[in-house]
Amino acid sequence: MATGGWRSVLGRLASEALRSGARSLGRAATGAPPAGRSTASPPAPAAGTAGRPRPGEPGDVGPIDLEYRPRNDDRPDPGEIVWAWVPYEEGDGRGKDRPVLVVARQGTALLGLMLSSKDHDLDAADEARHGRSWIDIGSGTWDHQGRPSEVRVDRLLRLDPADVRREGAVLARARFEEVAGEVRRVHGW
């Protein structure tokens, strides 16, 4: 091929690459997804269901026996607040080490509910719109700053007991029963 022919081919390829790059930049600037990819968010869980399972979540477990059985044995038990890695809902591999209320056992796994020191009463309408439900449990020794906590009752987490980082505290039985009642209500058990 003559030198002019190569220049022509390279020029067309460069022009095409520039147009493609400009389209990608335009999509990025507007928040549009790359061609062929969707930005549709997964649907919010329907009221009374746990929604689709995500990594670390048991999915549809059906009614579970929420039990209060804390023991002073240095092992995580239902009724105790422990610390463990909780994946973000996006399921992208990120997450956070946070307090979790253990509510039951499922085989060798623990089932738990994540805690937060953020006051979700302030954005209750938005939380409900996204299918999230929280209950206040007050403060305890699981939070070294003594901040009041809330438990998210719509999202059950499956934990391997070996993955629990440390024990935080035992939740008072009356408070545990309030949480258990709300879990049953939210999940329709």
- At 91 the pLDDT is 81
Distance CA 184, CA 55 (A): 22
3-state helix/strand/coil string of 42-75:
CCCCCCCCCCCCCCCCCCCCCCCCCCCCCCCCCC
- At 80 the pLDDT is 96
Distance CA 50, CA 37 (A): 26
Question: Which of 12, 45, 105, 122 has the alpha carbon at shortest distance from 136?
Answer: 122
Whole-model pTM above 0.95? Answer: no
Distance CA 189, CA 175 (A): 19
- At 121 the pLDDT is 78
Q: What is the pLDDT along the chain (189 residues), one digit of tens a residue?
A: 555 555 554 455 544 544 444 333 333 333 333 333 322 333 333 333 333 344 456 555 667 889 999 998 888 999 999 999 999 988 888 999 999 999 999 989 999 999 999 888 778 888 888 889 999 999 999 998 999 999 999 999 999 999 898 777 999 999 999 999 999 999 888
How far is the CA of 177 from the CAs of 36, 78, 165, 172, 187, in angstroms? Answer: 48, 12, 25, 9, 15
DSSP conformation class of 94:
-
Torsion, CA 43, CA 53, CA 62, CA 84, rounded to 10: -120
121: region left, alpha or beta (phi > 0 left; psi from -120 to 50 alpha): alpha
